Amino acid sequence: MVDTGSRESIERVLIDAETIAARVRELGARITAEYAELAEPLILIGILRGAIIFHADLIRAIERTLTIDFIAVSSYGASTKSSGVVRIFKDLNESIEGAHVIIVEDIIDSGLTLTYLLDLLARRNPASLRVCTFLLKERPRDHALPPIDYVGFTIPDEFVIGYGLDYAGRYRNLPYLGVLSLGDLGGDPA
């Protein structure tokens, strides 16, 4: 257990930094190969804030001309449970019309955020629209997940932090993926 100075603690390392780096290189190589012959622009859209680390590493693993953009959404507030409501805090800066778009997500949990984003972006007429998520949680879901083209790692249904993922805004700077233990007090930090 790592002492975090808070009532919650990092229970264990789930995926270390070297394993993450190797997987990101593989995803980058696949995307490079699959988009190499396409003439239209390629835009990698990072979902703020959780995807920033994955996005930054992934784009450097892709050997092809591309541009980046960001959209900020939230479905959680400060809790570890999805509220069921997706809000846009910041929209894209550029048009995606006629471009190949890859949505870059940190984690797909309920799938609610992704379903909302796919619907929103599909209506803007991209040449193609795909999803690359760092993590996919293995868990029962009320609704079927939309197709997910690239998955870094499939993980068990635990609350994870690090490599961009947060708990109440913290731990994004950890270079590895850890499992958070909420301790005796547990629950919501708000």
Kindly list the catalytic residues. Answer: 109
Touching ligand IMP, residues 9-68 (CB under 6 A): 50
Beta strand 177-181 pairing with 9-15: antiparallel
CB of 73 to ligand IMP, least distance (A): 8
Nearest alpha-carbon partner for 122 in 145, 143, 99: 99
The answer to whether 110 contacts ligand IMP (rule: CB under 6 A) is yes
CB of 167 to Mg ion, least distance (A): 8
The answer to whether 176 contacts ligand IMP (rule: CB under 6 A) is no
Candidates 1-9, 38-46, 120-128, 155-163: pick the segment binding ligand IMP (CB under 6 A).
155-163
Q: What is the DSSP string of 66-131?
A: -EEEEEEEES-TTSSS--S--EEEE--SS--TTSEEEEEEEEESSSHHHHHHHHHHHTT--SEEEE
SS3 26: helix
Nearest alpha-carbon partner for 17 in 62, 55, 54: 54
State the binding partner of 57 from Mg ion, ligand IMP, none, CB within 5 to 8 A by kind. Answer: none
**Residue from 58, 100, 113, 181 in contact with ligand IMP (CB under 6 A):** 113
CB environment 42-72: b (16+ within 10 A), e (fewer): bbbbbbbbbbbbbbebbbebbeeebeebbbe
CB of 88 to Mg ion, least distance (A): 15
Touching Mg ion, residues 45-64 (CB under 5 A): 50
The answer to whether 165 contacts ligand IMP (rule: CB under 6 A) is yes
Cα 101 to the center of its chain, rounded Å: 15
Candidates 1-9, 11-19, 23-31, 153-161: pick the segment binding ligand IMP (CB under 6 A).
153-161
Residues that bind ligand IMP (CB under 6 A): 50, 75-76, 82, 105-114, 159-161, 165-166
Residues that bind Mg ion (CB under 5 A): 50
